[in-house]
Each structure stands twice: as C-alpha cells, then as structure tokens.
C-alpha cells in the first residue's frame, strides 16, 4: 500500500504496510539515518523527529498516522556544508561521545528553542529528560543547547 508523507520538505510516496513504524520507513525506505533505533519501545528518544512542531518517537508511530503530515528529521535541520545552529553548538561544545542519542536530543532541543528562545538550564534539562544517554555528556549537552539559544 502506498502512503504519501512529506519529509524534510519533500513529498514522498512510500510503499509499506500501514502499521510499519515510521522509523523503519525513514531509515529503510527513505535512507534517512538521523533517527536511530535505540529501544524500539518509545522509551529512549533516539528515534525522535518533529511532526507539526511536536517531538515524536518514530519507533512508536505507525505510518498510517502520519499520512500527509510534514516530518522533519535531523537531515532537515542542516547539512555538513550548512549546519543548523544547534548542530554547530553541539560540535563546538563536543556534546557527543558515541553520538547515538545525539540526533534525538538535537530534535528535542529544536522543539524547545522553537517554543522558548531563552531557556534556562532547568528548562533544557526538563526538555531533554526523556532522552537516554549512556555516555554521560549531559553537562556538555546542556551547554550546547544554551550556546545555540543565544
Ligand atoms: Fe524510539 Fe527508543 S527507539 S524511543
């Protein structure tokens, strides 16, 4: 079955079962590797993308629920040649260690900064509280989001 979704501003037809997790569609059908498979259970945040201004865990979102929606992944924020402010800040603060959680964290930070241009550390920690990072770069992540906000 074909489903139309818009990803990073581009309208795409996807031939997949309606109950296919959006994460699988993004990674396997559309070749977008920004969203990561972490837990597959909606608990770690590695797969996060933005739909309609809201953070979404794509591993737990069936394709049928995003038909005709606009999905933004990490690739939609910036590129190697032209990184987004958040991506520049994460690089400047060396806020990634293994980097597996970083995509989801940056997407959560994007939603935060879209809603609050001047968050304090508590706002940042609250916005990222549901994103698991096993490396422990938490302080650098908070600094990066603060840097991107100014
Ligand atoms: Fe989706 Fe963990 S992979 S929340």
CATH numbers and ranges of domains, the chain: 2-76 (3.10.20.30), 85-149 (1.10.150.120)
Q: How many angstroms does the Cα of residue 52 sit away from the middle of ligand 1? A: 19
pLDDT tens readout for residues 11-39: 999 999 999 999 999 999 999 999 999 99
Measuring from atom 4 of ligand 1, which residue has the nearest CA? 42
- Taking the whole predicted model, whether its pTM rises above 0.80 is answered as yes
Which of 24, 35, 46 is the pocket-test mutation for ligand 1 (most atoms within 8 Å of CB)?
Answer: 46
pLDDT band at residue 68, thresholds of 50, 70 and 90?
Answer: confident
DSSP state letter for 52: T
For strands 70-72 and 2-7, give the pairing. parallel
Instruction: Supply the ipTM of this predicted assembly.
Output: 0.97
21 C-alpha vs ligand 1 centroid, how far in Å? 11
Distance CA 15, CA 128 (A): 33
Q: What is the dihedral of CA 21, 39, 8, 67, to 10 degrees?
A: 20
- The position carrying tokens 């109950």 is 19
Q: Are 34 and 84 in contact (CB under 8 A)?
A: no
């Amino acid at each position: 079955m074909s489903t139309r979704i818009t990803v990073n501003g581009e309208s795409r037809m996807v031939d997949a079962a309606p109950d296919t997790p959006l994460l699988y569609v993004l990674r396997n059908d559309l070749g977008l590797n920004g969203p990561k498979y972490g837990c597959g259970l909606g608990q770690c945040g590695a797969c996060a993308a933005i739909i309609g201004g809201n953070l979404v865990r794509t591993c737990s979102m069936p394709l049928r629920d995003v038909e005709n929606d606009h999905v933004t992944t990490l690739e939609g924020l910036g590129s190697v040649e032209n990184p987004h402010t958040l991506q520049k800040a994460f690089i400047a603060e060396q806020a990634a260690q293994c980097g597996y959680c970083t995509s989801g964290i940056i997407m959560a930070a994007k939603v935060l900064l879209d809603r609050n241009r001047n968050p304090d550390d508590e706002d940042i920690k609250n916005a990222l509280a549901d994103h698991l990072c096993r490396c422990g770069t938490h302080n650098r992540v908070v600094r990066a989001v603060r840097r991107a906000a100014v």
